[in-house]
Structure 1
């Protein structure tokens, strides 16, 4: 019985974990499927960014303290619903883009 309960707990935690690939889908519209585009022709290309750089940028956009290339307001709206776990997950996903 304990093994079943533990298995269910692990499975539910896994389902609740943020999915970077799913979160990135809304980013891909502007940044490209592999982060290869300048969003709206303005932003930096995010392909090749490490997770720490991406997480810091997203956190600052969410806080309203980052406005690179005039994208601050737009990006603040995009990341507003993201939790800290979401930011970490999408940052890790972006870091793995090839």
Structure 2
């Protein structure tokens, strides 16, 4: 049991450690802290205002083509290279 807990913690720590590096790709459009929505310039649907669950849902939706507006194609291209673990780590990193 102890090995399972330690392994889980190690994996979670590694995933979270990679999130800032992964988010570097997002900064150009969403800002350093996820404060920008490039399509509307509003504060309503910016990454920094979304819950962790909403970030994860949006990223998975972009990846499978079920989510998105005008930037859907661009976002799909960005998230296709992300694993489920990457998406979860990004959600933990930028979501509320």
Task: With the length of structure 1 as denominator, give the TM-score of the two structures.
Answer: 0.74
Question: How large is the RMSD of aligned CA atoms in angstroms?
Answer: 2.5
Q: What is the SS of the residue equivalent to 1:39?
A: coil
1:17 aligned residue: 14
- The answer as to whether partners of 2:55 and 2:91 remain within 8 angstroms in 1 is yes
2:91 aligned residue: 91
| Rg comparison, structure with higher value | 1
Separation of aligned partners in 1, 2:26 and 2:38: 9
Matched length:
86
What does the per-residue CA deviation read over 1:28-73, in whole Å, with 9 as the maximum and x for residues that have no partner? 11000011111255683221211110000000000011122x1111
- The answer as to whether partners of 2:39 and 2:71 remain within 8 angstroms in 1 is no
1:30 aligned residue: 29
Separation of aligned partners in 1, 2:54 and 2:14: 21
Separation of aligned partners in 1, 2:68 and 2:53: 18
Q: Give ranges in structure 1 of 5+ residues lacking alignment.
A: 1-5
Separation of aligned partners in 2, 1:80 and 1:87: 10
Task: With the length of structure 2 as denominator, give the TM-score of the two structures.
Answer: 0.75
